[in-house]
Structure 1
Amino acid sequence: MGKIGIYGSSFDPITNVHLWTANTILNRCKLDRVIFLPCSSKRRDKKMQIEDVHRLNMLHFAIENNEKFIADDYEMNQNAWNISTYETLKYFKSKYKHDTIYFIMGADLLIDIGNGKWGNSDLLVKENKFIVMARNGINMLKAISTSPILRNNDDGETFHLIDKGLAMEISSSYIRDEFSLGGDPRYLLPEACYRYIKEQSLYI
């Protein structure tokens, strides 16, 4: 039985920080694989800057030399109003029946789940395991202890908290802004992705 982390994000575009974060979690948490899961452009709470095909192409370019990294377009292919992390994790647990599935997220999302802002928040926590990355200004232990949803569904193995060494804050939006303003964020993302953006004239 293996251990798989599900790393969801817009990846608009994927950055070197995404890759560094995934690799750090892979090693610290002794995962066998990390699945990069780009979110759907049909979501009402997010607005993508480029078409799905470009985000997915760059994701494949970025991880092509790491056999422990996998790209999956499951959420990209789902209907907007049917997408939820709870249903997504049910899908992956069914697909990888003999493995343990972990959802990778930041501490800011932990607070949102604890406040019941996600669909099926109670069941989501009760039935799944999470790897939670620290965010500046957020006390993860306090977030868990003060939320009935989080603390009442924590069996001691529900949350794997990573509180050191993941505080790099180079975002996809920063890179998009640099491109749109004529900057050159070449060394903030994989070289193949940088070339693809230039060739396809994306983010300008």
Structure 2
Amino acid sequence: MKTGADRIGIMGGTFDPIHNGHLAMAEAVREAFSLDRVLFIPSGKPPHKRRSEIADKQHRYNMTVLATNSNNAFEVSPVEVEREQLSYTVDTLKILKEEYKDSEIFLVMGADALCDIESWSRVDELLKLCRVVGATRPGIDIDEFKREIEKIQRQFNVQILHVHVPSLDISSTDIRERAKRGSSIKYLIPEEVEKYIYKYKLYR
């Protein structure tokens, strides 16, 4: 039986739209590290994307809620969509550390994002606020990924956890392109999210 503080996974992203690959990654990490819950955080104003490039933040939040409803260990936080400022992960983590004072926080990142972490805002501060979990994704060279983890660990004097995720070669970009040209997106995303996209004519 587990004792001690809650273990909370943080899964951020634009989720434009959220898809089954995101959900499989979150569940794999939850199981691997015995997390009590995974908190999905749709970004409000991501600094690396223009507003015109992504769907409205309320649509992205609503789709994330629909996608995670069936898993009692999954929750969705509006912390970034309610904020008017740019969405920097370090600021979000500081807010969550205040809200979940007695919890251990695990920041879940895809391997591609982890390999780019040096470019993130105030990365030294960020790495002190959480434990980082790097999740492998299709197309990632595992040996190169491990070398990158070792480099980050030496550079910032932190431990990076990692987990292998089932290979679901799905991307939000591909789903948007399929929706735009009228191709099927069935089985790439949860059914409720598919219905939502059609209802509001997203990505057309």
**TM-score, scaled relative to structure 1:** 0.87
C-alpha separation in 2, matches of 1:33 and 1:109: 22
| Cα distance, 1:173 vs structure 2 | 0.9
Conserved 8 A contact 2:149-2:160: no
* 3-state SS of paired residue (1:186): coil
Aligned-pair identity in percent equals: 33
Structure 1 residues 101-110 or 121-130, which shifts more?
121-130
Q: Gaps spanning 5+ residues in structure 2: where? A: none
With over 3 angstroms needed to count, the CA separation of the structure-2 counterparts of 1:106 and 1:165, relative to structure 1, is: closer
- State the Cα distance separating 1:54 from its structure 2 match: 1.3
Aligned to 2:122: 120
Greater CA drift, 169-178 or 128-137: 128-137
Question: What is the aligned partner in structure 1 of residue 9 from structure 2?
Answer: 5
From 72, 75, 79, the counterpart of 2:80:
75
Contact 2:26 2:38 in 1 (8 A): yes
Distance 2:146 2:130 in 1: 18
Q: In 2 relative to 1, CA 152–127 (structure 1 residues): closer, same or farther, beyond 3 Å?
A: farther
Give 1:107's aligned residue.
111
Distance 2:89 2:172 in 1: 21
Matched residue, 2:171: 171
- 1:74 Cα deviation after fit: 0.8
CA RMSD, Structure 1 to Structure 2 (Å): 1.8
Unaligned runs of 5+ in 1: none
Counterpart of 2:91?
87
Q: 1:15-94 alignment to 2 at 5 Å?
A: 15-40=19-44, 42-47=45-50, 48-81=53-86, 83-94=87-98
1:137-176 to 2 correspondences below 5 Å:
137=141, 139-147=144-152, 150-155=153-158, 158-162=159-163, 164-176=164-176
How far 1:152 sits from its partner (Å)? 4.6
TM-superposed deviation, 1:62? 1.2
Q: What is the SS of the residue equivalent to 2:148?
A: helix
Q: What is the DSSP-based 3-state SS (H/G/I as helix, E as strand, rest coil) of the residue aligned with 1:76?
A: coil
User: What's the CA shift for 1:128?
Assistant: 2.3
Task: Give, in angstroms, the shift of residue 166 of structure 1.
Answer: 3.9
Kindly indicate whether the alpha-carbon contact (under 8 Å) linking 2:14 and 2:46 is maintained by their aligned counterparts in 1. no
Change (3 A) 1:185 1:123: same
Q: Is the 8 A contact 1:12 1:172 kept in 2?
A: yes
User: Which runs of structure 1 show a deviation greater than 6 angstroms over 4 or more consecutive aligned residues?
Assistant: none
